[in-house]
Structure 1
Amino acid sequence: MASEAAHAVVATPAPPPSLTNSAKNKQNHRQEWPYGNYRSYYSFRSGTTQPDAPPADQLDGRLSLLDPALFREKTLLDIGTNSGKIALDALLLLGARAVAGVDIDPLLIEDARKAALERGLAHDDPRVEFRQANVMEEGWFERFEPSVGKVDVVTLFSITKWLHLHNGDEGMRRLFRSLHTFLPTDGVVIVEPQEWDNYKRAVKRNKDLRETFKTLELRPPFDAEMREVGFVLEEQIEREEGGFSRPLLVWRKVKRAV
């Protein structure tokens, strides 16, 4: 059991390095500020280990397992959006009304905006927004006013490990509380939690995360914590995909009994 004092230890991210158009700057970006999944992460999520990226208009394998009605005519917030593929697939292939993608890494937001243009969307399309942001900042959800309108669905795909390692147990509890307050009744959170062994591999690669890791008492998939704030598990999809073995958990905010 970690001591109470240890709970205060969290790995606060340094400000991102300034970005330029130089190849050297972009190449060194991850080395200077390693935070989250690598660039082109979704190129390797097509169900194979082939190095070639799947076509941009090929639906992400995880989305293909979910009921399209979760997204149809809904507004999506994709947290840890990376290259924006989940958000763009939901908009262009699943009939979402609008999408917003946020990521702490400005270089990935740059990639997502470029991907939107490459998929035929105008730079000022009112249905899509990509924004650099740290959703784990206290009060962020209360301040967040997406240009695409009120959010109905939130996705957390392959991001909970990083949020947990950088923000500790209390950061995750605050996130779940904030999501429940942020979403309307009948709103949905879809989580792809990374397994505990995956945490251990991340900590081996980044020694700066070790102190926070030692304090963690919560464990994925955070079922008890989601239920505690008021979400109900609607569906759990077990799957194997290209070396990744993680469930998809569909949580819904239901109206509390009076």
Structure 2
Amino acid sequence: MFSTRKYFGGGHATMATCTISNDAADETNDPGAAPYGNFINYYTFNPPENRLSLIPATILQDLGYKDGHESTLILDVGCNSGELSVAFYKHLVLDPVCEEETKRRRVHLLGFDLDEILIQRAQQTNPLPDCISFIPLDITEGTDQLQDYLNHHSCSHFHLCLCLAVTMWVHLNHGDSGMLQLLSRLASISQHLLLEAQPWKCYRSAARRLRKLGRSDFDHFKTLKIRGDVAEHAREHLEKHCGMELIQSFGSTSWDRKLLLFKKR
């Protein structure tokens, strides 16, 4: 029996309890049914291609990560059930002709999410267990598990961190300080950070959907001071307080969300 303690993550946006009730499962076609973003069929309405079509397959090489003896590590924050993690790995790494090429490149991806049921699904359907791992993790309680993973691979940081459609759920449930703390923690363990922050109109829509379901409003929605262009606020925090700089924008997804790439100075 899973704990019902609240966790914090993303599912390309997940911040959720570890269990999903039968009532919640019945509501999965309603976007308002997941107040923490832990949609159990998320990739049916936002498939991986929505992001991958904007990200060049050569991004690792473009960032200077060449084939060699050292491992290249990718972190996927709020990986949900893992479909995007796997698709992203294949997009960047996997040679469609020769899968042995993957092993030579020594690229490893770690995905984590707070919803243990989603992580179980990711683990069970993972087609590349030698290269991709999934763990349940509440990053607000620390990064010890991530540090253990880095130590196992003899690395001091993740070379590329994905934080895609996670910030809003953290923001709504943990306030301004919670979102900024998330960005700071990711910046502290990452050389590059690919960020997709939901625009403010998504906050209003999420709050409206909760109200339509007759549920309590988000704890912090009415008291948030960070509003408007949330991606710009995130950029300012990363550049002023986290030692990172924006080096590229890959444009906006079909959901009008910017994909911004930051690099540690």
For normalisation by structure 2, the TM-score amounts to: 0.70
The answer on 1:224 being equivalent to 2:213 is: no
Cα separation, 2, equivalents of 1:135 and 1:224: 22
Q: How many residues align?
A: 215
The structure-2 alpha-carbon separation of the partners of 1:130 and 1:92, relative to structure 1 and needing over 3 Å to count, comes to same
Q: 1:66 aligns with which of 55, 59, 84?
A: 55
Matches within 5 A, 1:144-159: 144=146, 145-146=148-149, 149=153, 150=155, 151-159=158-166
The structure-2 alpha-carbon separation of the partners of 1:42 and 1:234, relative to structure 1 and needing over 3 Å to count, comes to same
Any idea what SS the aligned residue of 2:252 has? coil
- Checking the alignment, whether the CA contact within 8 Å between 1:158 and 1:194 is kept in structure 2 is yes
- Checking the alignment, whether the CA contact within 8 Å between 1:76 and 1:87 is kept in structure 2 is no
Cα offsets for 1:139-187 (capped at 9, x unmatched): x12452227734211111111110111111111221222122212xxx1
TM-aligned CA deviation for residue 98 of structure 1: 0.8
What code does the residue aligned with 1:252 have? K
Any idea what SS the aligned residue of 1:99 has? strand
Structure-2 residue corresponding to 1:95: 93
The structure-2 alpha-carbon separation of the partners of 1:240 and 1:182, relative to structure 1 and needing over 3 Å to count, comes to closer
TM-aligned CA deviation for residue 66 of structure 1: 1.7
Cα offsets for 1:223-253 (capped at 9, x unmatched): 2111112110011122342xx1111010111
The answer on 1:108 being equivalent to 2:109 is: no
Cα separation, 2, equivalents of 1:17 and 1:108: 9
What code does the residue aligned with 1:214 have? K
The answer on 1:180 being equivalent to 2:180 is: no
Cα offsets for 1:92-136 (capped at 9, x unmatched): 2311711111111112112212331xxx33xxx332211111222
What code does the residue aligned with 1:253 have? K
- Checking the alignment, whether the CA contact within 8 Å between 1:78 and 1:86 is kept in structure 2 is no
- Checking the alignment, whether the CA contact within 8 Å between 2:173 and 2:219 is kept in structure 1 is no
- Checking the alignment, whether the CA contact within 8 Å between 1:16 and 1:33 is kept in structure 2 is no
- Checking the alignment, whether the CA contact within 8 Å between 1:156 and 1:189 is kept in structure 2 is yes
For normalisation by structure 1, the TM-score amounts to: 0.72
Moved more, 66-75 or 188-197: 66-75
Cα separation, 1, equivalents of 2:217 and 2:19: 23
- Checking the alignment, whether the CA contact within 8 Å between 1:190 and 1:249 is kept in structure 2 is yes
Q: 2:73 aligns with which of 72, 75, 79?
A: 75
Cα offsets for 1:191-214 (capped at 9, x unmatched): 111110111111223354434112
Cα separation, 2, equivalents of 1:113 and 1:142: 21
What code does the residue aligned with 1:226 have? L
TM-aligned CA deviation for residue 29 of structure 1: 9.4
The structure-2 alpha-carbon separation of the partners of 1:211 and 1:75, relative to structure 1 and needing over 3 Å to count, comes to same
Cα separation, 1, equivalents of 2:18 and 2:194: 31
The answer on 1:162 being equivalent to 2:156 is: no
Identity %: 25
What code does the residue aligned with 1:180 have? A
Aligned-residue RMSD, C-alpha: 3.0
Structure 2 unmatched runs, 5+:
8-15, 66-71, 95-106
The answer on 1:141 being equivalent to 2:151 is: no
What code does the residue aligned with 1:233 have? L
